[in-house]
Protein backbone atom coordinates (compact mmCIF):
# COMPACT_ATOMS: atom_id res chain seq x y z
CA UNK A 1 0.00 0.00 0.00
CA UNK A 2 1.56 3.28 -1.05
CA UNK A 3 1.76 6.20 1.33
CA UNK A 4 0.09 9.57 0.83
CA UNK A 5 1.06 12.99 2.15
CA UNK A 6 -1.60 15.70 1.75
CA UNK A 7 -0.71 19.39 1.91
CA UNK A 8 -3.12 22.31 1.85
CA UNK A 9 -2.00 25.39 -0.11
CA UNK A 10 -3.61 28.81 -0.37
CA UNK A 11 -1.04 30.96 -2.14
CA UNK A 12 0.52 32.30 1.05
CA UNK A 13 4.20 32.20 1.99
CA UNK A 14 3.30 29.91 4.88
CA UNK A 15 1.66 27.46 2.48
CA UNK A 16 4.79 27.50 0.31
CA UNK A 17 6.88 26.47 3.33
CA UNK A 18 4.34 23.75 4.15
CA UNK A 19 4.51 22.48 0.55
CA UNK A 20 8.30 22.27 0.68
CA UNK A 21 8.14 20.42 4.01
CA UNK A 22 5.48 18.04 2.68
CA UNK A 23 7.46 17.35 -0.51
CA UNK A 24 10.59 16.63 1.53
CA UNK A 25 8.65 14.27 3.79
CA UNK A 26 6.95 12.55 0.83
CA UNK A 27 10.35 12.01 -0.82
CA UNK A 28 11.71 10.54 2.42
CA UNK A 29 8.72 8.19 2.72
CA UNK A 30 8.52 7.33 -0.97
CA UNK A 31 4.95 8.64 -0.80
CA UNK A 32 2.67 10.38 -3.26
CA UNK A 33 2.21 14.09 -2.53
CA UNK A 34 -1.31 15.42 -2.92
CA UNK A 35 -1.37 19.24 -3.18
CA UNK A 36 -4.84 20.56 -2.36
CA UNK A 37 -6.17 24.07 -2.93
CA UNK A 38 -9.70 24.85 -1.78
CA UNK A 39 -11.80 27.85 -2.73
CA UNK A 40 -14.54 28.35 -0.14
CA UNK A 41 -18.07 29.08 -1.29
CA UNK A 42 -19.89 31.93 0.45
CA UNK A 43 -22.08 30.88 3.31
CA UNK A 44 -25.66 32.09 3.44
CA UNK A 45 -26.24 32.14 7.17
CA UNK A 46 -28.08 35.48 6.96
CA UNK A 47 -30.87 34.12 4.69
CA UNK A 48 -33.08 32.93 7.60
CA UNK A 49 -32.88 36.44 9.05
CA UNK A 50 -34.37 37.97 5.93
CA UNK A 51 -31.24 39.04 4.08
CA UNK A 52 -30.99 38.07 0.42
CA UNK A 53 -28.03 35.86 -0.48
CA UNK A 54 -25.36 37.62 -2.49
CA UNK A 55 -25.19 36.77 -6.16
CA UNK A 56 -22.20 34.53 -6.77
CA UNK A 57 -20.67 35.71 -10.05
CA UNK A 58 -19.12 32.33 -10.85
CA UNK A 59 -20.83 28.96 -10.33
CA UNK A 60 -19.06 26.56 -7.98
CA UNK A 61 -18.32 24.06 -10.75
CA UNK A 62 -16.23 26.75 -12.45
CA UNK A 63 -14.22 27.52 -9.30
CA UNK A 64 -12.72 24.04 -8.88
CA UNK A 65 -10.48 24.40 -11.97
CA UNK A 66 -9.29 27.76 -10.63
CA UNK A 67 -8.43 26.09 -7.32
CA UNK A 68 -6.56 23.34 -9.16
CA UNK A 69 -4.65 25.98 -11.11
CA UNK A 70 -3.70 27.68 -7.84
CA UNK A 71 -2.38 24.37 -6.50
CA UNK A 72 -0.44 23.80 -9.73
CA UNK A 73 1.04 27.31 -9.44
CA UNK A 74 2.34 26.43 -5.96
CA UNK A 75 3.92 23.25 -7.33
CA UNK A 76 5.47 25.22 -10.22
CA UNK A 77 7.07 27.69 -7.79
CA UNK A 78 8.49 24.80 -5.76
CA UNK A 79 9.72 23.20 -8.99
CA UNK A 80 11.56 26.41 -9.87
CA UNK A 81 13.26 26.67 -6.48
CA UNK A 82 13.77 22.97 -5.65
CA UNK A 83 13.68 21.01 -8.94
CA UNK A 84 15.62 18.07 -7.47
CA UNK A 85 12.97 17.67 -4.77
CA UNK A 86 10.02 17.80 -7.17
CA UNK A 87 11.63 15.15 -9.39
CA UNK A 88 11.77 12.72 -6.44
CA UNK A 89 8.04 12.82 -5.70
CA UNK A 90 4.90 11.76 -7.54
CA UNK A 91 2.61 14.80 -7.27
CA UNK A 92 -1.16 14.90 -7.59
CA UNK A 93 -2.74 18.37 -7.85
CA UNK A 94 -6.30 18.81 -6.58
CA UNK A 95 -8.65 21.79 -6.66
CA UNK A 96 -11.94 21.90 -4.84
CA UNK A 97 -14.75 24.30 -4.13
CA UNK A 98 -15.82 23.62 -0.55
CA UNK A 99 -15.15 24.61 3.04
CA UNK A 100 -11.37 24.17 3.51
CA UNK A 101 -11.76 22.46 6.87
CA UNK A 102 -14.25 19.92 5.56
CA UNK A 103 -12.26 19.19 2.39
CA UNK A 104 -8.92 18.77 4.18
CA UNK A 105 -10.36 16.53 6.90
CA UNK A 106 -12.04 14.39 4.22
CA UNK A 107 -8.75 14.09 2.29
CA UNK A 108 -7.01 13.05 5.52
CA UNK A 109 -9.03 9.79 5.53
CA UNK A 110 -6.69 8.22 2.98
CA UNK A 111 -3.55 10.09 4.04
CA UNK A 112 -0.61 9.14 6.21
CA UNK A 113 0.11 12.79 6.98
CA UNK A 114 -1.68 16.14 6.55
CA UNK A 115 0.55 19.22 6.34
CA UNK A 116 -0.60 22.83 6.77
CA UNK A 117 1.16 26.15 7.06
CA UNK A 118 0.91 28.28 10.21
CA UNK A 119 0.18 31.94 9.76
CA UNK A 120 2.02 33.85 12.45
CA UNK A 121 0.05 36.84 13.67
CA UNK A 122 2.56 38.27 16.09
CA UNK A 123 3.92 37.02 19.41
CA UNK A 124 0.56 36.78 21.20
CA UNK A 125 -1.80 35.61 18.45
CA UNK A 126 0.75 33.10 17.14
CA UNK A 127 0.31 31.08 20.30
CA UNK A 128 -3.00 29.92 18.82
CA UNK A 129 -3.52 28.02 15.59
CA UNK A 130 -5.78 29.43 12.91
CA UNK A 131 -9.28 28.07 12.53
CA UNK A 132 -8.38 25.73 9.64
CA UNK A 133 -5.27 24.39 11.39
CA UNK A 134 -7.03 23.91 14.70
CA UNK A 135 -10.01 22.19 13.09
CA UNK A 136 -7.74 19.82 11.16
CA UNK A 137 -5.63 19.02 14.22
CA UNK A 138 -8.79 18.11 16.13
CA UNK A 139 -10.69 16.29 13.36
CA UNK A 140 -8.18 14.78 10.89
CA UNK A 141 -7.97 11.03 10.45
CA UNK A 142 -4.16 11.03 10.31
CA UNK A 143 -1.31 12.88 11.99
CA UNK A 144 -1.17 16.62 11.22
CA UNK A 145 1.97 18.73 10.92
CA UNK A 146 1.72 22.51 11.20
CA UNK A 147 4.74 24.17 9.58
CA UNK A 148 5.92 27.56 10.73
CA UNK A 149 7.25 29.78 7.97
CA UNK A 150 10.44 30.63 9.82
CA UNK A 151 11.99 28.84 12.76
CA UNK A 152 12.18 30.73 16.01
CA UNK A 153 15.65 32.11 16.55
CA UNK A 154 17.30 30.55 19.53
CA UNK A 155 20.21 32.22 21.26
CA UNK A 156 23.58 30.98 20.18
CA UNK A 157 25.53 28.84 22.61
CA UNK A 158 28.42 31.24 22.14
CA UNK A 159 26.43 34.39 22.72
CA UNK A 160 28.65 37.38 23.29
CA UNK A 161 27.55 39.65 26.11
CA UNK A 162 26.47 43.07 24.89
CA UNK A 163 27.31 44.87 28.11
CA UNK A 164 30.26 44.83 30.47
CA UNK A 165 29.69 43.01 33.74
CA UNK A 166 29.22 45.35 36.65
CA UNK A 167 30.08 45.01 40.28
CA UNK A 168 27.90 46.35 43.03
| Distance separating alpha carbons of residues 121 and 14, to the nearest angstrom | 12
8 Å CB contact between 113 and 15: no
Contact assessment for residue 39 and residue 65, using Cβ atoms and an 8 Å cutoff: no
Question: Using H for helix, E for strand and C for coil, what is the string for 138-159?
Answer: HHCCCCEEEEECCCCCCCCCCC
d(CA 56, CA 62): 11
Structural domains in the chain, sorted by start: 9-42+58-148 (3.40.50.620)
pLDDT tens-place string over residues 82-127 = 999 999 999 999 999 888 999 999 999 999 999 999 875 554 444 4
pTM recorded for the entire structure = 0.76
Cα 112 to Cα 21: distance, rounded to the nearest angstrom: 14
Q: What is the pLDDT of residue 126?
A: 46
Amino acid sequence: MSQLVVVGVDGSAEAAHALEYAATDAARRGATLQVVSVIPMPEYWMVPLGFAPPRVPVPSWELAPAAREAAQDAVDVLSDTRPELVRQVEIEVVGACARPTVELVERSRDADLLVLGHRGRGPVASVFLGSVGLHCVLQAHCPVTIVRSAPHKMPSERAVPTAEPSAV
